[in-house]
Amino acid sequence: MKIRIIAMLFLALLVTGCTSLLDKHVSWEYEKPEQFPVLRAVGYAPISAQGGNDPQIRQIMAMRASKLDAYRELAEQVYGYQIKGKSEVKNLIAQDDQLKAKVEGVIRGARLVKSYPVGDTYATELELDMKLVFDLYRINTRPRKIKKVEYY
């Protein structure tokens, strides 16, 4: 009987030993960077290489392609490239070299600065204000840091 009571007390201490004896209240505040850069990107697309018989349709398609290229360049600046390389050697002779680059990400808040033809190429300039990106991120995810902890 004594062993059973001691075992129950030991089990109760073991279970409650991991809990906090004090309750706490945590206050949070937002962290804001000291400066926000403005990123700029230019995308290009050839007009004559676009599909379609009508020159106006080719120009519109080049406009769209150059805008996507500018977004890709912004994604490169924000997220960077993922580079994969592969070299194959057989009997100490290089057989095959491969290099693949990939960029992936979400760009929010980019502003179209200018879109214009340059000869047979269409160019689009985009701008990404990182302060706007920070504000959009804060609205969507609400990041926090500990401001104050009160124990009572």
How far apart, in whole angstroms, are the C-alpha atoms of residue 77 and residue 135? Answer: 19
**Could you list the pLDDT tens digit for every one of the 152 residues in the chain?**
778 777 777 776 666 655 555 667 776 666 778 899 999 999 999 999 999 889 999 999 999 999 999 999 999 999 998 999 999 998 888 888 899 999 999 999 999 999 999 999 999 999 999 999 888 887 877 666 777 777 77
Give the residue ranges of DSSP H helices in the chain.
2-16, 55-79, 130-141
Q: Do the Cβ atoms of 103 and 75 come closer than 8 Å?
A: yes
The amino acid at 10:
F
Instruction: Determine if the pTM surpasses 0.85.
Output: no
How far apart, in whole angstroms, are the C-alpha atoms of residue 61 and residue 44? Answer: 12
The single residue listed with the structure tokens 């009997």 is 91
Cβ count within 10 A of residue 65: 19
Q: Do the Cβ atoms of 62 and 35 come closer than 8 Å?
A: no
Alpha carbons within 13 A on the beta-carbon side of 133: 18
The amino acid at 61:
M
